[in-house]
Amino acid sequence: MTRTRNIAHLDLDCFYVSVERISNPSLIGRPVVVGGTATGRGVVASASYEARKFGVRSAMPAGQALRLCPQLIVVGGSYHKYSEISDALFERMLDFTPLVERASIDEMYLDLTGTEALYNNDLPALIRTLQEAVRSEFSLPCTIGLASNKTIAKIATDQVKPAGLCVVPHGTEKAFLGPLAIEVIPGVGKKTGAFLREKGFRTVADLQDSSPERLTKLLGKHGVWLHHVAQGGGSETVHNHYVRKSIGKEETFSHDIQDKGELEKLLFGLTEDVCARLRRKHWKTRTVTLKLRYSDFKTITRSETFSPTNDDPVIFRIVRDLFREGYTRKSPIRLLGVQLSHFVDPRDTPGLFDGEPTKRDDILDAVQKLREKFGEEVIHVGSE
């Protein structure tokens, strides 16, 4: 007999903005975005609900956001801080259940199946406790949905944001979904939604009344998935580990820059930042990617793969070469970015790295400890 699952989806509300409001309470209740600049350059990474009322959304150019909401407050962002808080919250949630999956920096799934007796068979009370713990211990608002699978739990969360709680009891999934718009189902974006509406589908109930054969004919394999979710199904597997796939940093300049020397200095700063974050995790990288955007918004990327390292000068030399090869136009640059990926952890793969840590490893470790204790600017490794 298959055990009925109990899965919670926890979503931090306007995470980046909420973190900034902790250190700057004057931002509370005001339209705020994190990302971009006050001059309208860059892209919005997170928008407060006050800003969303004006149509401001994440991934929107900051210039467009400011036109929609002239009183908008633009905050640069503290991405190291966001990552640290997310890590700490993840560790805290493991106190409630051993199965926690990080879906992203600001959301996670908790598999509570099998823990029911520990919480007096009252999981709705537990998710209230979880929400209060996030508020009291981290000073952050969050929304939590509880259902029989991940998909329904996430849909539940989306219905009660911000700072809400939603429980979908077992056996009520279809009734819960029925009156909702078809776009609540993950994977039904603007294009698919418009197509389905042309075919007469408005609510999830319309999908429920349709046959899987018709949906498959309309959308192929995606139609099978839609029918499954509309009937209350979804993924029931919570992965108990989260592997970060990349570490990156990019900067949109307040004014376009054409001087190659200045651009290379800025590139070293970006490289130094991502390498420091890499060493904090005790990882090494095998791939670096350069992102370059011209003043006319034409964007190029260049990547190179190499032997695993976390050494700033080694990685910077590769980045610099990619830049010199990629910067082929006379136009100035408005954005540069550096991204590391394909990580290895020497502690988990002892056969990959021969011998004891080198003197260079010891130096990098010492530099890292000094920067963590006294700040990022106290010491630099050097570009050569």
Residues taking part in catalysis: 107
Q: In the beta sheet, which residues pair with residue 289?
A: 303, 339
By CB atoms closer than 10 A (0-12, 13-18, 19+), residue 211 is exposed
| Neighbour-count burial of 292, counting CB atoms closer than 10 A to its CB (0-12 exposed, 13-18 middle, 19+ buried) | buried
CA distances in angstroms from 374 to 3, 26, 46, 370, listed in the order given: 52, 28, 29, 6
3-state helix, strand, coil in the chain (%, to 5): 45, 20, 35
Please, how many CA atoms are within 13 Å of residue 242, restricted to the half-sphere of its CB?
19
Q: What is the DSSP string of 10-77?
A: EEETTHHHHHHHHH-GGGTTS-EEESS-TTS-SB-SEE-HHHHTTT--TTSBHHHHHHH-TT-EEE--
